[in-house]
Amino acid sequence: MAIGMCFLLGCQSPVKRSLSSANAPASDNDIDIDQEIGERAEPGEADTDRFIADTITGYINRRYSDGRRPAMRDAHAKAHGCVRATFDVDAGLPDELRQGVFVPGKRYQAWIRFSNGASEINPDKTKDARGMAIKLTGVAGAKILPEEKDATTQDFIMINHPYFFVDSPEQYLAMLKVFHKKIIFDKTNAFNALGAAMHLGLHDTRLALKINATRIANPLYGQYWSMTPYRLGVGPGRKAIKFFAKSCANNKPKAPGFFSRPEADYLQQAMAGTLSSGDACFDFYLQTFKDFESTPIEQSTVEWKEDAAPPVLVARITIPAQKFDSSAQMTFCENLSYTPWHALPEHKPLGTVNRARRVVYTAVSKARHGLNGASRSEPTGDERF
């Protein structure tokens, strides 16, 4: 999520979606729209999604032409590390949640990448959003992305905040135009960028500020949310869910204060310190759709509050004691590609923000791997460094 710029610039809100538009068109994005579950496509959203992808890949190419190596992610560029983990599905899982990877008692090997949110490698003390991207391996079954239908991975991508800062790709694009105006500057775009800058809505600025406002002590002690909804199941009985992972530690360390001077990479060091002497763990929860007001599908800026959608514990994530910071492992980490669309149909990402991510993440991953001469492949879970 490239939101660091919103901290400074805020984000425009030109379009608000109406959930009552029952006759909304099917997507022109070649993505199946699940109207019964509450998905609504806006005409033209596919063009916006492609424009976002082109803008971001243009930016990545430009950084590369400026001599920056390797070509990095445009969002969540700085990894604190990728760690080996196990994902154990609860043996007593309620029947209605037994879908896709949620097979009671099943254990998956996983790779989890912890990251800062910005598109630059800033010192960890900089306030930012923080990411936790889980990749389950050894997942059988055809996946959604036609190009990667035989991949054996399922990704769950989260940030340490319960909701996103925009509802639509148009709003995201307005923010990108401001941020990337030097790259896409021409008469039309100059006008658009000015328009975006003049529409710094208070509401979205406040959301962006909140999401970017965290300074943390150690990524292994946080709570991370999906922000956007996903489907659980296929066919009749399928439902919309959100998920989150919460550290199971009781005593959480305090973030460095304003006047302290921690090292630039203190978050990686904190993780290494924790995992040099013991395990870390997270509980993984699902929240189920209740109604379109309290648990909307197309409005990613609305938090699914726990009183409206009570969380159900579905899995325990264990990150065993390990060393993870060799240069070979950090390179492996850099070359991983996470996307919400590395998914079984039972976990289809829902809503317009997720549809944009389908186009953008694949394009950006291909661009950076291409520039770096790195192969794009999904891990098996057996990798050792």
Q: Note the residues at the interface with ligand HEM (CB under 6 A).
A: 1-2, 52, 56, 73-76, 113, 115, 131, 133, 157-159, 164, 169, 172, 226-228, 337-338, 353, 356-357, 360-361, 364-365, 368
Smallest gap from residue 223 Cβ to ligand HEM (A): 13
CA-based radius of gyration for the chain? 20
Report the alpha-carbon distance of residue 362 to residue 338 in Å, rounded: 9
Choice between 93 and 298, CB closer to ligand HEM: 298
Residue 276 has φ and ψ, to the nearest 5°, of -80, -20
Q: Which two tokens stand for residue 49?
A: 């999604």
Q: Which residue is nearest to ligand HEM (CB)?
A: 131
Bridge-based pairing of strands 154-159 and 107-116 is unpaired
Report the alpha-carbon distance of residue 243 to residue 238 in Å, rounded: 16
Choice between 93 and 295, CB closer to ligand HEM: 295
Choice between 119 and 218, CB closer to ligand HEM: 119
Smallest gap from residue 236 Cβ to ligand HEM (A): 28
Smallest gap from residue 34 Cβ to ligand HEM (A): 18
Choice between 102 and 244, CB closer to ligand HEM: 244
Smallest gap from residue 349 Cβ to ligand HEM (A): 10
**What torsion do the CA atoms of 19, 22, 28, 32 make, to the nearest 10 degrees?**
90
CA–centroid distance for 201 within its chain: 24
Smallest gap from residue 355 Cβ to ligand HEM (A): 9
Choice between 104 and 302, CB closer to ligand HEM: 302
Choice between 17 and 93, CB closer to ligand HEM: 17
Choice between 2 and 85, CB closer to ligand HEM: 2
Bridge-based pairing of strands 239-247 and 230-232 is antiparallel
Report the alpha-carbon distance of residue 338 to residue 357 in Å, rounded: 11
Smallest gap from residue 220 Cβ to ligand HEM (A): 15
Smallest gap from residue 150 Cβ to ligand HEM (A): 20
Choice between 139 and 211, CB closer to ligand HEM: 211
CA–centroid distance for 280 within its chain: 21
Report the alpha-carbon distance of residue 361 to residue 372 in Å, rounded: 16
Choice between 72 and 93, CB closer to ligand HEM: 72
Smallest gap from residue 271 Cβ to ligand HEM (A): 14
Secondary structure (DSSP) of 143-184:
-SSGGGTT---EEEEEESSSS-S-SSHHHHHHHHHHHTTTTS
Residue 197 is inside which H or E element, if any? helix 187-198
Q: In terms of C-beta density within 10 A (0-12 exposed, 13-18 middle, 19 or more buried), how is residue 269 classed?
A: middle
Choice between 176 and 193, CB closer to ligand HEM: 176
Smallest gap from residue 371 Cβ to ligand HEM (A): 11
Residue 224 is inside which H or E element, if any? strand 223-225
Residue 230 is inside which H or E element, if any? strand 230-232
Maximal C-alpha separation, the chain: 60
Helix, strand, coil % over all residues of the chain, rounded to 5:
30, 20, 50
Smallest gap from residue 120 Cβ to ligand HEM (A): 13
CA–centroid distance for 167 within its chain: 15
